[in-house]
Amino acid sequence: MNSLLRQQILDLQSVSEKLEPSGVKLENYFSRIHGFSHNYLDELKTKKAWVNKDEPNVSDLNLKTDPSLENVLKTFKEQVIDQGLVPSSGGHLGYIPGGGVYLASLGDYLAAISNEYAGMVYPSPGAAAIENNLIHWMIALFGFPKTAVGNLTSGGSIANLIGITAARDSKQIKGDKIPKSVVYVNKHLHHCMLKAFRIAGLEDLDIRYVNLDQNHRMNPEHLDSLIKADIEKGLIPFLVIGNAGTTDTGAIDPLEDLGKIAQKYNLWYHIDGAYGGFFQLTETGKEKLKGIEMADSLVIDPHKGLFLPYGIGAVLIKDASAVLHSNHYIANYMLDAYEEDSFHNSADLSPELTKHFRGMRMWLPIKMLGIEPFISCLNEKLLLAQFLWESLEERGFQMGPKPELTVLYFNWNFNENSEINNELNRKLLEEILKDGRVFLSSTIINDIFVIRVAILSFRTKLSTIDLCLEVIEEAKLKVMEMAANEAMD
Ligand SMILES: Cc1ncc(COP(=O)(O)O)c(C=O)c1O
């Protein structure tokens, strides 16, 4: 009986062993992946940022077994990499570009190979220490008190969700209080915040859109008067959300003034710095982000401002008890991992329990390169944005405000009729994307269609911006020709 069981186990083992390749097979995998990655980085130098296929081909991305890594890599290249947006390209100047610094990918690789778990100190004190050190580095960078806590999340959306739930719990916004509660925002706040309200059960609260100035920044006097009026009406103002760089326009709200008003009325102050927060590392950014230290909760995104691959955001919160309320739990099956001082356990500060050891991708490049190259890269982006804005203005484009950081927008005045002009500027963007050497995106500002440029890829260089200007000029001429032909018809 026992020998039969042994044989059954060994039979299964002969198949399950495939999950642990070794020897020549392992070497073969390594060398092919290594070669593939290096070709990828080589090709990136000349590759378009946007490859538009009328009919994307994704036919071979099914789960049919194919043991040949050669085949799989070929399919991956043709059907994943060679179509759509190329996020790792320096020509990615749309939305908010991400990064992908090489050493971060090696950090990810080591994290995945070792599968260390950083959520708790008990099973992996080293991994937890790496993540805690990163959090404490950010706490110091943003002038938060040493008692603040933080968490490395999957990105800005979850980081903002954690901030909003902490605000809710700290101010005890629940039950009957929700429909009477009011939050004050910039109409350009990121939509993940609106999602966060719904997820956090706050859908029924009132949202007040504070007037903006010409540079799309919240007007503090208007905020003050809105709060006053709401208090007089018997409502419960509880949260002010400021932006350290909006996605739409890159505007930085007057963070210090908003902070003073939040303090005056005892409101929770949340700042979304997912896009612009890490400019705090630069002299220019630090000056512009003055007041960021006043936030009760702050979101920053290393997969944007530190050029890391997608999948790492961060939230810092001053009042630990607010974030522990929703996220700290003692389960019987985890009593042996529980410690008195659970601030060291990131699992107690986030809805996530088991998660990728994402701190490794941030720690490895900073550890090996120091922070200087990141600061130079941020400064370089600030100057590139200024250079592009000035160059476009010189060429006669209608410009949005000078970039606070590295987002700017523009359009061309093809036609006096605003609807026709919007249409022609849509065509301008279409032509830019047809070319594909750079990728830009658009937004609507006060009913006007504008083209945005967001410079945050570490691979965007002066040559990329020269190329961008060339592509925009060529596309503009095409649209002018198109419009002239249509007028003649
Ligand atoms: C200002 C801002 N907040 C939040 C987010 C959401 O972050 P994520 O996409 O990492 O979830 C973004 C994304 O671009 C953003 O620009």
Rounded distance from Cα 15 to ligand 1 centre (Å): 43
Rounded distance from Cα 247 to ligand 1 centre (Å): 7
pTM of the model: 0.96
**Closest atom of ligand 1 relative to the 189 alpha carbon:** 1
Strand (E) positions, 259-327?
268-273, 297-300, 313-317
Q: 342 pLDDT exceeds 60? A: no
Tens of pLDDT, residue by residue over 110-136, are: 999 999 999 999 899 999 999 999 999
Q: CA-to-CA distance for 314 and 156, rounded, in angstroms?
A: 7
Task: Give the model's confidence band at 337: pLDDT under 50 very low, under 70 low, under 90 confident, else very high.
Answer: confident
Arithmetic mean of pLDDT, 148-160? 97
Burial of 207 (0-12, 13-18, 19+ CB in 10 A): middle
Place of tokens 């329990």: 353
Rounded distance from Cα 396 to ligand 1 centre (Å): 31
Q: 334 pLDDT exceeds 90? A: no
Q: What are phi and psi of 282, to 5 degrees?
A: -100, 155
Residue minimizing CA distance to atom 14 of ligand 1: 96
For the ranges 66-80, 323-337, 434-448, the lowest mean pLDDT is seen at: 323-337
Q: What is the 3-state secondary structure (H, E, C) of 136-191?
A: HHHHHHCCCCCCCEEEEECCHHHHHHHHHHHHHHHCCCCHHHHHHEEEEECCCCCH
Q: What are phi and psi of 235, to 5 degrees?
A: -85, 175
Rounded distance from Cα 131 to ligand 1 centre (Å): 21
Rounded distance from Cα 190 to ligand 1 centre (Å): 7
Rounded distance from Cα 217 to ligand 1 centre (Å): 18
Q: 341 pLDDT exceeds 80? A: no
User: At a CB cut-off of 8 Å and minimum separation 6, what does 33 contact?
Assistant: 69, 73
Q: CA-to-CA distance for 352 and 311, rounded, in angstroms?
A: 14
Arithmetic mean of pLDDT, 396-412? 98
In this prediction, residue 54 carries a pLDDT of 76
Q: Is the dihedral of CA 128, 134, 138, 139 positive or negative?
A: positive
Arithmetic mean of pLDDT, 347-360? 94
- Please name each of the domains of the chain with its CATH number: 106-369 (3.40.640.10), 372-488 (3.90.1150.10)
Rounded distance from Cα 156 to ligand 1 centre (Å): 5
In this prediction, residue 53 carries a pLDDT of 76
**Closest atom of ligand 1 relative to the 95 alpha carbon:** 14
Inter-helix orientation angle 69-76/23-44, to 10°: 20
Q: N- to C-terminal Cα distance for the chain? A: 90
Q: What is the largest CA-CA distance in the chain?
A: 92
Q: 467 pLDDT exceeds 80? A: yes
Q: 460 pLDDT exceeds 90? A: yes
CA nearest 265: which of 225, 325, 215, 208?
225
Instruction: Write down the mean pLDDT value for the chain.
Output: 95
Probe residue for ligand 1, chosen from 197, 301, 310 as the CB with the greatest number of ligand atoms within 8 Å? 301
Q: Which residues line ligand 1 (CB under 6 A)?
A: 96, 155-157, 160, 190, 192, 247, 272, 274-275, 301, 313
**Closest atom of ligand 1 relative to the 313 alpha carbon:** 10
